[in-house]
Amino acid sequence: MTGTPAVLHLQSRAYPLHHSSPGAVPDLVTVPDHGELRPVAGTLRSLAYNPDATIELDLTALVGSAISLPGTEIVACHARILTAGTVLVVYALRHEADLRRMALHDLDALDSAVNRALREADSPVLTAVLAAAVSSGLVSGVALRPDLAPAGARAPIDRQSARYNCHFVTLDPPWAADARVPAVTPGPGCRVLLPYTYAWDLDPATALPDLLTATEPTDIAVAQQSLLVGALIAGRWVLADLAHGHPESTDVHAFRRFLDGLWADFHHLDGYRIESTQAHRSSYLSARQVIGLDDTQERADKLLGYVSNSLLAASSERAEALDARLNRVAAALTVVSAASFGLDIAVFVLPEVTLATKLGVVTGLLGMAVSCLLAVVLPRTPRRRARRRIPAQRAAPDDRVRRVAPQGP
């Protein structure tokens, strides 16, 4: 495709990884079978007060050689590693079709189809990039769920919790907002068309870093949404294990650390409403309202509180079972000690008896000790209560139960 596009299509996908960023950015990251990446330190440029660092990765060459979409050109692909445990993968796309002539529902259908195709195609590439980032020390402590951890080239990408924004950058956008979108007042140049879908009154030939700065407030909101969705998925996973009787596969302390990291990352991003500039703050608050971020936070808070209580109950149940085993072991040791003491007494009291008598006494004591030991150590099975079946008897006509009408007060 040649020439300046009438519309630049941006897709910003957020992955909650709950990672830790290094103090120093490595000069080079080698991705096996894909090439090399040069990380660049950056910041969220829409903040007015305290800067928040990012790590920028240009993935255009990697995805360009692995992905081909008919009628669509991948202009650029950037990964933005945020301090708050989230990675934004941003695609810049050009289409042969004239997007300005499309109705809003056709535009949304095109965006969804492109996103599905990209997610299927770039999953191996992003997995390899994440594995290389972990092995090189670019990120550390990746924790998607308490049971998942990166392991070389098999480092996981939690696609279920990923959420994305769609941005159409063009001068004088021709699309009107959907009637179901609540009335909001975003920043200048931003129009909320649908939840997660925005039109920007900007020149599509603007440099990509400037466009990413313009879309930062809405992308921060979707990053928070991805964090909460990942938490809901993790909570449902833990509840399913507990419901199916597999409490041993859950770790209360690991889940507590997971929740600590989750809420730390969420509230780190939530500070954007205080730290950002006035124009960007308006877009951020509008995006929060339209995508229902506060409602998702309330749902996540309730579910995770319930999961925490269930984990504590399961932990208490395991502690009781362990105490019962320890009590049985202690009782068994007591029986053995008593048998040894009895044997010593028998040898002392009967010093001049025949060998057969001594063997009989020793055998009896050992048999008694073994019997008591088995009775103490082996788990007890609950006895089934025998139910007595009483043959039904037909009531005589004269012995019918009389119904007494209830009396008033």
Is residue 3 situated within a structural domain?
Answer: no
> In angstroms, what is the C-alpha Rg of the chain?
34
Is residue 82 situated within a structural domain?
Answer: yes
Angle between helices 208-243 and 293-349 (to 10 degrees): 40
- Are 121 and 69 part of one and the same domain? yes
- Are 193 and 249 part of one and the same domain? yes
Q: Does residue 142 have a pLDDT over 50?
A: yes
Query: What is the C-alpha separation between 50 and 152, in angstroms, rounded?
Result: 35
- Are 133 and 237 part of one and the same domain? yes
Is residue 311 situated within a structural domain?
Answer: no
Residue 403: band (very low, low, confident or very high) from pLDDT cuts 50, 70, 90: very low
Region of 18 on the Ramachandran plot (φ > 0 left; ψ -120 to 50 alpha; else beta): left
Round the average pLDDT of the chain to a whole number and report it. Answer: 81
Q: pLDDT value at position 211?
A: 96
Residue 33: band (very low, low, confident or very high) from pLDDT cuts 50, 70, 90: confident
DSSP per residue, 291-333: HTHHHHHHHHHHHHHHHHHHHHHHHHHHHHHHHHHHHHHHHHH
Q: Does residue 144 have a pLDDT over 90?
A: no
In this prediction the pTM is 0.76
| Number of neighbouring beta carbons within 10 Å of residue 150 | 23
Q: Does residue 26 have a pLDDT over 80?
A: yes
Could you tell me the residue range of the domain that residue 231 belongs to?
Answer: 8-291
Is residue 318 situated within a structural domain?
Answer: no
Is the distance from CB of 130 to CB of 150 less than 8 angstroms?
yes
- Are 175 and 108 part of one and the same domain? yes
Q: Does residue 166 have a pLDDT over 90?
A: yes
- Are 331 and 260 part of one and the same domain? no
- Are 263 and 121 part of one and the same domain? yes
Is residue 27 situated within a structural domain?
Answer: yes
Domain count, the chain: 2
- Are 140 and 253 part of one and the same domain? yes
Query: What is the C-alpha separation between 82 and 301, in angstroms, rounded?
Result: 23
- Are 275 and 343 part of one and the same domain? no
**Of 163, 315, 201, 160, the residue nearest 253 (C-alpha):** 315
Is residue 406 situated within a structural domain?
Answer: no
- Please count the helices (runs of H) and the strands (runs of E) in the chain: 8, 10
**Of 195, 192, 214, 203, the residue nearest 44 (C-alpha):** 214
pLDDT tens per residue across span 88-100: 999 999 999 999 9
Is the distance from CB of 176 to CB of 289 less than 8 angstroms?
no
Residue 253: band (very low, low, confident or very high) from pLDDT cuts 50, 70, 90: confident
- Are 280 and 347 part of one and the same domain? no
Q: Does residue 1 have a pLDDT over 60?
A: no
What tokens does 390 get? 């009483």
Region of 40 on the Ramachandran plot (φ > 0 left; ψ -120 to 50 alpha; else beta): beta
Is residue 177 situated within a structural domain?
Answer: yes
Q: pLDDT value at position 107?
A: 96
Q: Is 192 helix (H, G, I), strand (E, B) or coil?
A: strand
Q: pLDDT value at position 348?
A: 61
Residue 108, φ and ψ in degrees, nearest 5: -65, -40
pLDDT tens per residue across span 331-384: 666 766 666 666 666 666 666 666 666 666 667 667 766 766 666 556 655 444
- Are 364 and 254 part of one and the same domain? no
Is residue 403 situated within a structural domain?
Answer: no
